[in-house]
Structures are given as C-alpha cells and as structure tokens.
Amino acid sequence: MVIRPKYSLKVMATIAGLAAIATMSASAMESARICKDVYQDATRNITKSVEVSEVVHDLYSRYCRADGSTKGNAGDFGLAYEALDVNFSFSSSENKHSEFCSTEYENFKDYVRIDRYDNHVVVAALSSFNDCISSAKQGMAISHTDYGNGTVVIHGRSFDPNFKPTIDNIVADESFTCTSVDFNSRGKKRVVRGDKVLVLNGHSWNIFFTREPDLDGTNVIYPRTSIGVATSAGTYVATLIESTRLGFRDAKALISETDRLAAELDQTKAALNEAQAKADAEEARANSIGVLKWGTFSLGEYDGPALFRPRLDSRNGLPSQYRINGLTSPSNFSNTTLADDYARYLCNGSKFVRYELRSRPGGCCGYSDHIVICLGEIQD
C-alpha cells in the first residue's frame, strides 16, 4: 500500500466542484455557496486528517484516467488544484495537470479506503456536495439538513425566475414518511411520494424525510441509509451515517461510567505527576553527587612496610580517635572490617569507595595500602 500525504479536511469543501463553479453563471454562484456551506456543516466535527485523502482521490477520479493520463480541462484542474493546501513539487508550471496524474497514478491504483467514521462522513459529504454542484449548474441548488432526531430535510432553491423545476422521483426506504407543503396551491402539509411528478409553485421547496428508528431496549438507533430526489435539474443523494441515541438508563449508566473513568484518569495523572517529581528529584540528587574528599592509609604491623599514614595494626583494632557513632572494635578484628571502619571515619559516615592499591603477605595479617574516596551531595 502506498502511503499518501495527509491533507486537511478543511480543503474538502472546495475541491470537488471548483472546476464546475468556474464555468457557472453569476446567477448560480449563490447556489455554489449553499453547496459549500452544506458540506462544511456536514464535516464541522471532523478534526482529524484522513489516512488516505478522499479529496485528492476525488480530484484524480475527475481529471485523470485510470492509466495516469489526463482527462477534462486543464484550466478546470488548475482551479481545483490551487485550493489544496499541500505542495506538490512540479517540474514544470505548464504541465501540472499531466504531471499530477502521472505522479498520483501509483497512489490511485493502490488506493485503499480505511473503514472508519471520518472517512464515511467525508465520502458522504463529498458525494452530496458534487450532486449539489451539478444541480446548481442547471440553475437550482439542492442540499440537505440532518436534524439528528430521525428528521432530514432536502431543500431546493432556484435562482432563475424562468426555471420551473420538478421533482420527478423521491427515493427512501419504507421506514421514512415524506411530507411537504410546497407542492400544492393551499400550502398544506401533505405526504409526497415518488410515484408522480411534483411541480413547484415557487422558487424554493423542502421535503421532510421522517423515519422510525430501530429500538434496542431503551436505545434509539438510526441505521446507515440513503435518501434522495431526482429533479429536472439533476439528482441529489444524501447518505445518512448510523447514529444511536441512548435511553435514559443507558445514558445515566454511561455518564456514571464516564465520571468513574474520569476520576481514575485524574488519579492516574496525579500518580504519574508524583512519580515524575520523585524521578526528577532523584535525577537532580544523582547529578549533584560528587567527590567530597579523599584520603589514604595502610594496614599491617607497625614494624612492616607501609606506603601511607596512618598505618593501622589489625591486632589492636581501630584506635579510639578514629571511631564514630560509638563504634567499638570487636575482639577479632579483620583487615577488611578495620579498613571500612577507618574509611567511615575519614568520610564522616557518608558513602565511600575504598580501593586496595596493593597487598602483601607477612606478619599476622598481611600488609595493604588503601585509597578512600568520599562521596556526597555537592552544594552550589
């Protein structure tokens, strides 16, 4: 799979129909604005960039052939391309259309649509946007509003006083009831169907699509579906994404669970902050540890060889002047114990590292020479 660059969803409202807009009459520009506004409203809650840009895929589909060659008008392509906020590196400013198609060919043939909510919303909105632009070129803007409670309204508006649009067909499954007040002279609400042509009395119309939901306990579910109209200005299809409205008990339980998870999250954040603070303190302390001082001494009988002073005789233990914290020498004093106790004295009880520089046999307990390094926190 070829990884495509990520594109901002904000550009999607203008890409799909820019070329068409460029050829529209001035009277239809307001229609185009309506189409754009409807698209932006449909995608207003989409904040993530999609993994594979539906917009670029749509641009390729409309201006490039499957084999990577161009189709359509290069000027129209240029208008559409300029709306992208992603920079392609073109080798020539005169052949952007052909270069785009040949460059995107590999991505297009390996195109894989990721099945996730963002993609479904964008694809559905792009489809409705393109339908709206197509009908706008014929003089009537068609759009829709999903009120989220099982009611969707498809709107139509003509900006040409001489254009008398008709509704030739209405498409919706049996869960919908379709009503309108705009196709009778008395302006009364009536059920409208797709079995006969509806003639508009004015220049705008609304058809209300109201559907019965599926019920799951106390939850209200509106499955994914599509509705649409076929008019004398073109066809418009609105794809409705699946939605669920929780019943009171489930909603209350969800709120309770959300509150519990939020409290757990706060506790976890607090624990992490505390752990981080401790780690920072330990790191700071470790960075402040250094050599406070160092010293030397030797062990062995007094008449033996020694490199350093003082020289301690393990037969006598640690002299009283070198004892700290009430330390008393045991009756059977080893060289190791004696050396460590003197190192503690030298370092005033702080941590130390003792190196035995050299050792030799002889006497009662042998002879050795030592270096002590005292470690501690260095004060600034």
Boundary-marking domain end, from 121, 137, 153 = 137
Angle between helices 96-109 and 74-82 (to 10 degrees): 70
Tell me the residue range of the domain where 172 lies.
Answer: 138-245
Minimum mean pLDDT range among 35-49, 120-134, 211-225, 260-274: 35-49
260 part of a folded domain: no
Structure token digits, residue 303: 């008449």
Contact call for residues 125 and 55 (beta carbons, < 8 A): no
- As a whole number of angstroms, the distance between CA 280 and CA 277 comes to 5
Q: Please, which pLDDT band fits residue 324 given cuts at 50, 70 and 90?
A: low
Minimum mean pLDDT range among 20-29, 31-40, 194-203, 289-298: 20-29
Structure token digits, residue 300: 């062995």
Mean pLDDT of the chain: 75
Neighbours of 269 (CB within 10 A): 10
Going by C-alpha positions, the residue among 36, 219, 221, 248 that lies closest to residue 143 is: 36
Instruction: Kindly tell me if the per-residue pLDDT of 250 is higher than 80.
Output: no
Comparison of pLDDT for 380 and 317, the residue scoring more? 317
For residues 189-200, give the mean pLDDT: 86
76 part of a folded domain: yes
- The total of structural domains in the chain comes to 3
The CATH number of the domain holding residue 172 is 2.60.40
Q: What is the pLDDT of residue 266?
A: 87
107 and 55 in a single domain? The answer is yes
pTM assigned to the model = 0.47
Comparison of pLDDT for 177 and 303, the residue scoring more? 177
63 and 192 in a single domain? The answer is no
295 and 174 in a single domain? The answer is no
24 part of a folded domain: yes
Residue pLDDT, tens place only, 4-62: 444 444 444 344 444 444 444 455 456 666 777 766 666 655 544 543 456 677 778 87
1 and 100 in a single domain? The answer is yes
277 part of a folded domain: no
151 and 116 in a single domain? The answer is no
Give the bridge partners for 219, in sequence order.
216
